[in-house]
Structure 1
Amino acid sequence: MAFPIVTVAGNGFLKSSIRFQIKGCSSFLNQFGFFHKLTCGARYIGVAYIGDNSGSSIIDTLADSNADQCAIDAPLIKELGANTISVHYIDPSQSHDKCMQSFRDNDVYVIANMARQRDYSDVDMAGLEPSSNLGNSTWQTSVFNQYAAVLDSMASYENLLGLIVGNEIVDKSTQVDLAPFVKAAVRDMKAYAVARQYRTIPIGYFTSDDDNWAQQMADYLVCGGNKSEAIDFLGVNDYSWCGSSSMNTSDYGQLTSDLGDIGVPLFFSEDGCTDVQPRTFEDQGAIFGSNMSDVWSGAVVYEWRKQSGSGSEFGLVSYTTTAPSTPSPLSDYSALSSQWASVTAADNAPSTLPTPSCPASTGSFWPVDPAAALPTIAGLDFANIKPASASVAATSTGTGTGTNTSKNTSTSSPNHTTSKSGLSTGAKAGIGVGVACGVILALSVLFWFLYRRRLHNNQPADANQESSSAPTSAGPVPELPATRTWRHPPSELPAGGGGQAQELDSVAIHEAGYGANKPEGEEMSREKTVYK
Structure 2
Amino acid sequence: MFGPHTMFTTAISILALGAQLASAVPTIDIKGSDFINSETGDRFQLLGVAYQPGGSSGYDPASGIDPLSDGNVCLRDAALMQRLGVNAIRVYNLDPDLNHDLCASIFNEVGIYMLLDVNSPLPGESINRDEPWTTYDSSYLNRTFAVVEAFKSYPNTLLFFSGNEVINDDASASVVPPYMRAVTRDLKNYIKKNSARDIPVGYSAADVRDILVDTWNYLQCTTTGDDSDPSRVDLFALNSYSWCGDSSFTTSSYNVLVSDLTGTSVPVFFSEYGCNVPAPRIFTEVPVIYGPLMTPVLSGGMVYEFSQEASNFGLVNINSDGSANLLPDYDTLQKQFSTLNVTAIQGLPAQNTSVTAPKCSASLISAKSFNSNFTLPAVPPGAQTLIDNGIANAPTGKIVSVTKTAVSQTVKDSQGNIIQGLSIIPLSNDQSNNPSAISSTTTSSVTASPTKKGAATSMQRNWTGLSVAGALVTAWLSLM
TM beyond 0.5:
yes
Does the aligned pair in 1 maintain the 2:101–2:399 contact within 8 Å?
Answer: no
Offset, 1:195: 1.6
Deviation for aligned residue 1:180: 0.6
Q: How big is the shift at 1:321? A: 4.3
Q: CA deviation at 1:328?
A: 1.9
Aligned partners of 2:82 and 2:110 also within 8 Å: yes
Alignment of 1:372-383 (within 5 A): 372-382=375-385
Q: Which residue of 2 aligns with 1:32?
A: none
Over alpha carbons, which structure has the higher Rg? 1
Counterpart of 1:349 in structure 2: which amino acid?
Answer: A
The aligned amino acid for 2:252 is S
Matches within 5 A, 1:240-251: 240-251=242-253
Q: Distance between the aligned counterparts of 1:55 and 1:207, measured in 2? A: 21
Equivalent position to 1:210, from 208, 211, 214: 208
What is the CA–CA distance in structure 2 between the aligned matches of 1:55 and 1:86, rounded to whole Å?
17
Give the Cα separation in 1 of the matches to 2:116 and 2:35: 17
Question: Which one has more relative contact order, counting CA pairs under 8 Å at least 6 apart?
Answer: 2
In 1: Cα distance, 2:319 partner to 2:386 partner: 52
Give the match for residue 194 of structure 1. Answer: 192
1:360-509 map, 5 Å: 360=362, 364-370=368-374, 372-382=375-385, 385-386=388-389, 401=399
With over 3 angstroms needed to count, the CA separation of the structure-2 counterparts of 1:56 and 1:77, relative to structure 1, is closer
Matched, 1:184 2:178: no
Instruction: Identify the residue that residue 328 of structure 2 maps to in structure 1.
Output: 331
Match of 1:305 among 304, 307, 316: 307
The answer on 1:83 being equivalent to 2:87 is yes
Please name the residue that 1:235 is paired with.
237
- Structure 1 match to 2:42: 19
| Distance in 1, Cα, partners of 2:55 & 2:266 | 34
Partner of 2:71: 67
Match of 1:8 among 30, 39, 63: 30
C-alpha deviation, 1:128, in angstroms: 4.0
CA distance in 2 between partners of 1:210 and 1:55 (Å) = 24
Q: Is the 8 A contact 1:20 1:44 kept in 2?
A: no
- Contact 1:181 1:374 (C-alpha < 8 Å) held by counterparts: yes
User: CA offset at residue 229 of structure 1?
Assistant: 1.9
- How many aligned residue pairs are there? 360
* Distance in structure 2 (CA, Å) of the matches to 1:74 and 1:95: 18
One-letter amino acid of the counterpart of residue 155, structure 2: E
Of residues 87, 106, 111 in structure 1, which corresponds to 2:110?
Answer: 106
1:113-192, aligned counterparts within 5 Å? 113-118=117-122, 128-129=129-130, 134-135=132-133, 137-176=134-173, 177-192=175-190
Q: 1:155 to 1:86 in 2, by over 3 A?
A: same
Q: CA 1:388–1:149 in structure 2 vs 1: closer, same or farther (change >3 Å)?
A: closer
**Matched residue, 1:524:** none
User: Equivalents in 2 of 1:216, 1:55: separation in Å?
Assistant: 31
**Which of 262, 265, 272 is equivalent to 2:264?**
262
- How many Å apart are 1:375 and its aligned residue? 3.6
Q: Percent identity?
A: 29
Partner of 1:282: helix, strand, or coil? coil
Please give the alpha-carbon distance, in whole angstroms, between the structure 2 residues aligned to 1:186 and 1:321: 38
Q: What is the identity, as a one-letter code, of the residue corresponding to 1:245?
A: S
Structure 2 residue runs of 5 or longer lacking an equivalent are 1-22, 402-480
C-alpha separation between the residues in 2 aligned to 1:241 and 1:382?
A: 46
Q: Note the aligned Cα RMSD (angstroms).
A: 2.8
Q: TM-score, normalised by structure 1?
A: 0.63
The Cα of 1:368 is off from its aligned counterpart by: 2.4
Report the residue type matching 1:221 in the other structure.
Answer: L
